[in-house]
Each structure stands twice: as structure tokens, then as C-alpha cells.
Homo-oligomer: A and B are copies of this chain.
Amino acid sequence: MPYKGYGQYCPLALAAEGLCERSTLLVISRVIDGCTRFNEINRGVPKISATLLSQRLSRLEHAGLITRLPLENERGSAYGLTDAGRDLDPIIMSFAAWGQKWSRNRETEDLDPAFLAWSMHTRLNVDAMPETRVVMEFAFTGSQKGLSRFWLVAQNGHVGMCLKYPGYDTDLTISGDIRRSVEAWRGFRDLRREIADGRITVEGPEPYRRALPDWLLLSALTGIERRVGDESRDARAASLARTG
């Protein structure tokens, strides 16, 4: 068996062997976030196939990181964390914070509207929202597939995400370019300014329109200082190239 495992007792090698496979950290992260069902995790991990997710969950279970409880009434299982898995929480957080701080911006092809919608549905400030049902429609432009629409339905403190028109009347419609939307989400742009300047538009009743920025909590990592040296260098180089 040529290159399976690092063949070492070194603790870092052991940890890396089990955790540094494609999507594994993302899967654990979703379970840490509280996702319990297969498809819930599946939606929360970008571009993972059911085949791979299934395999990852099995391995993580055998490695003692997650638990799997078959459900009584329904088919399927509920996934949860073991102590070992829970111990990874702060490590994964610091990993993500590092990514926020040091990663380059992505190309447009990497700005997946579906994943932005999924992220938003996990970070809606339901405490600030009305008791009644609120239906928000998001329309992102500028992505590879042209226009992408999603609906978030908030009710009784619970938020659902729909890929198709959910049948309920839409209360708010938010439209904008996917790149600007992602940048606002990540905290690189000020959402209120984007709205005030009309680059992201909000349609609907005045009270809802006004409240919207308080409903969207944005990415949990917006506070992290950003330091991507190459980009400012690239920007300077580009600027020189233009002016020079």
C-alpha cells in the first residue's frame, strides 16, 4: 500500500491523516454547527457528493469523532459529536479564522449563490424578526449560471431555505451582484452602504426594508482582521501597470 497514511506515530501526522482529506473538516464543522441529518450536512458542505459524504461520515464515526443514531420513526440517522469531535471545535474555528485573514479572494466561478443562501439561512437573527412568517427572496446576478433565486422562510424562530418558489407570498425581495453580496456577507463591504447606494436593492414594505440589515447577521468571521499581502501588492502592480 504505497501512499496510504503517513506511517508515523507523530501526533501531528496522526491528526492530519484522519482530518486532512477533502471536505472532512467541512463535514465536522457542519456537525459542530448542529446539523444532524444527512441532507442537512450535505447542503452545508459545498460540492460534496452523497457518495463522498457517506464515506466521510463512516470514517469519522469509526475514528470516534461523530456518533450516528438510527432514527425510530423515520428512515435515516441523526449525527452528533463525541468528545473527541467536540474537542476540534476551537481548532476548526481558528483554522477558519486563519482562512478569513489570509486567503485570497476567489474567482467569480467560486462564488456559489446556493452556498451563500445556505450560509445566510444559518445566520438569520430570528430574535429580531416578527413572530409572523417572513418570506425573503434573494436574486443574485453575475454568477456563472446567470440569475439565481432562493427563498428563506422564517417562522417561529426556525428558518428554511427553498430553491423553488415556496408558495407563500414574498415579503422582501433582495437583489444584487453575487460578488458584492458575498463581500458584504464576509464583512469586506458595508451592507448598509451597498443598500443605500443602490448596489444591493431591497423591495417590500418600509418597516421590513428598514429592519433587514438587522436580520442578516452576516458571516461569523466578519470581525477578523484581513491581511492578504499579495493582493495589495497585486493591486499596486496593476495600478502601476495602468498608470505607467
* Interfacial residues, chain A to chain B (CB-CB below 8 A): 3, 5-16, 18-26, 29, 46-47, 64, 82-84, 87-88, 90-92, 94-103, 105-106, 109-112, 115-116, 119, 182, 186, 219, 221, 227-230
Contact = CB atoms under 8 A, between A and B. Distances in A.
Contact of A110 (B9, B95, B99): B9
Contacts of A102: 15, 64, 84, 87
Contacts of A16: 20, 23, 25-26, 95, 99
Contacts of A110: 5, 7-9
Central interface residue in A47, A98, A101, A227, by most chain B CB within 10 Å: A98
A22 B2 CA distance: 13
Interface of A is mostly: helix
A135 B17 CA distance: 35
Contacts of A82: 229
Contacts of A119: 10
Contacts of A91: 91, 94-95, 98
A106 B18 CA distance: 13
B24 A12 contact: no
B9 A182 contact: yes
18 contacts: A7-B109, A7-B110, A8-B106, A9-B112, A9-B186, A10-B26, A11-B96, A11-B99, A12-B25, A12-B96, A14-B103, A15-B102, A16-B95, A16-B99, A19-B20, A64-B228, A91-B98, A94-B94
User: Oligomeric state, in number of copies?
Assistant: 2
A14 B11 CA distance: 24
Contact of A99 (B14, B106, B221): B14
Instruction: Sort A-B residue pairs by CB-CB distance and give the 3 closest, nearest first.
Output: A15-B99, A11-B99, A20-B20
A22 B16 CA distance: 8
Contacts of A99: 10-16
A82 to B, nearest CB: 8
Contacts of A105: 9
Contact of A11 (B5, B21, B100): B100
Contacts of A219: 11
B64 A230 contact: yes
